[in-house]
Amino acid sequence: MISLIFSGAGGFTIAVGELCTRFTALYFEIDVPWWLGAMLLAVGAWWINVRGTSFATGIQFAIVLLSVIPFLMTAIAAVLEAGAANTWAVFAWNNPHGGDLFAALLFSILLFGGFETAGALAEESNKPRRDIPIALVVTVTAAALLLVFCSYAGTIHYGQEAVSKDWGGVMDGYARMAEVLIGPWAALWIRLAVLVDFAATCIGFTLAASKGIFALARAGRLPAPLARTNRHGAPSMASSVVLGCALVVIAGGMFVPAAARFQTLFVSATAQALLLVLVYVMLAAGGLALLLRAPKSQPAWRWIVFPAAMVVPLLALYGTLVPLPGSPEIYGLAAGILALALTGGWVVALKRRGLV
């Protein structure tokens, strides 16, 4: 839950505000304060969530469908344009222009973070035992294909030697690609899609975080008023707490220098990714432990898949800590460790009250 608040439910709001400012300056020549865009998004995500889960998830799906088109068009255009420059070398470990693979793994896993939040909706779905597994696997597989293809297209477009600096050094690399390969209208579509998709992210993470707070309150592990729901069945008090976190982050952003505002994305993403990877490792270990409880009744594929699922998160964890990252990611790492300490304190407090 803290991981969700670090990201779309709060931590990303400063960067979203900055994106709004740059977008309106670029296309409308209007100077919109970053905090105004950030606040509108946070309040909008809260409003959509208190309208109910069905309303929120429907909007998310529509946003994703509409937004994926320009990215796919740009990626296809990049591959076609590259011609003979298309190569398998970008998948080769020993590529001479390769960087730190393990450090990149942490952010690569972050690309997929959030899919498992569908589990939080089990109570409200038609057929959770059938629909949630299908939704999880289909979405992750589709996202995997899309992300690998887009990563490949971007790397080929910017060139293996220059990709680290030319793509990694700008915040709108895909929009620039679209501008060159397709035209300014495609770049506008992508920049707009990113803004709108950020809204979908905030909606989804606010939804998942508020469900988490609600469930803990309902189980007696957080104050009971946080389990209150409104007439739409939405956990209104928990959603308000998440909105409060986002507003605190925005207030904190007032003290961040303008030039470093976008860097807050790296800090919050590092904190989120660290917590996310730790949870993935624990989930996989938990799955393995359940298999060991009834080893004879398990099909063979589970003995291969469950341990294998731990490997990539462990490698990402290794890449995060060895060597320690520099600024600004180190602040995210510190925030993640602080969150773990806070969690430890909370567990001790629960234990003293006999709730664990």
Ranges within 272-311 binding another protein (CB under 8 A): 275-276, 278-280, 282-287, 289-290, 293, 302, 305-306, 308-309, 311
Between 251 and 311, CB nearer to another protein: 311
CB of 170 to another protein, least distance (A): 7
CB of 284 to another protein, least distance (A): 6
Tokens of 120: 């939080």
240 counts as binding another protein under rule CB under 8 A: no
What is the number of other CB atoms lying within 10 angstroms of the CB of residue 136? 14
Between 125 and 240, CB nearer to another protein: 125
Q: Give me the helix-helix angle, 13-28 and 264-293, nearest 10°.
A: 130
What is the number of other CB atoms lying within 10 angstroms of the CB of residue 300? 7
What is the number of other CB atoms lying within 10 angstroms of the CB of residue 320? 23
CB of 165 to another protein, least distance (A): 8
Q: Are 204 and 7 in contact (CB under 8 A)?
A: no
Q: What are phi and psi of 81, to 5 degrees?
A: -65, -35
| Footprint of another protein on 100-159 (CB under 8 A) | 100-101, 103-105, 107-126, 128-141, 143-148, 150-152, 154-155, 158
What is the number of other CB atoms lying within 10 angstroms of the CB of residue 233? 12
- Cβ partners under 8 Å of residue 345, min gap 6: none
Between 77 and 276, CB nearer to another protein: 276
Contact pick of 26, 97, 330, 338 for another protein (by CB under 8 A)? 97
CB of 260 to another protein, least distance (A): 16
Q: Which of the stretches 48-56, 78-86, 238-246, 248-256 binds another protein when contact is defined by CB under 8 A? A: 48-56
Between 251 and 303, CB nearer to another protein: 303
Tokens of 201: 């992210």
Between 44 and 173, CB nearer to another protein: 173
CB of 309 to another protein, least distance (A): 4
Q: Give me the helix-helix angle, 34-50 and 184-218, nearest 10°.
A: 50
| Footprint of another protein on 159-198 (CB under 8 A) | 160-161, 163-165, 167-175, 190, 193-194, 197-198
What's the rounded Cα separation, in Å, for the pair 245 and 199?
16
What's the rounded Cα separation, in Å, for the pair 118 and 182?
35
CB of 32 to another protein, least distance (A): 20
Q: Which of the stretches 26-34, 77-85, 95-103, 247-255 binds another protein when contact is defined by CB under 8 A? A: 95-103
Cα-Cα end-to-end distance for the chain: 18
229 counts as binding another protein under rule CB under 8 A: yes
Question: Which contiguous run of DSSP H or E holds residue 224?
Answer: none
In one-letter notation, the amino acid at residue 325 is P
List the Cα angle 80/77/147 in 5-degree steps.
105
User: CA-CA distances (angstroms) from residue 191 to 3, 177, 178?
Assistant: 26, 12, 10
What's the rounded Cα separation, in Å, for the pair 222 and 3?
17
CB of 227 to another protein, least distance (A): 8
Each residue 49-88 as x (binds another protein by CB under 8 A) or -, in order, gives: ---xxx--xxxxxx-x--xx--x-----------------
Place of tokens 């949630």: 132
Between 27 and 251, CB nearer to another protein: 27
The residue count for binding another protein (CB under 8 A) is 152
CB of 151 to another protein, least distance (A): 4
317 counts as binding another protein under rule CB under 8 A: no
CB of 295 to another protein, least distance (A): 14
| Footprint of another protein on 207-226 (CB under 8 A) | 207-208, 212, 214-216, 218
Tokens of 275: 């917590």
| Footprint of another protein on 16-45 (CB under 8 A) | none
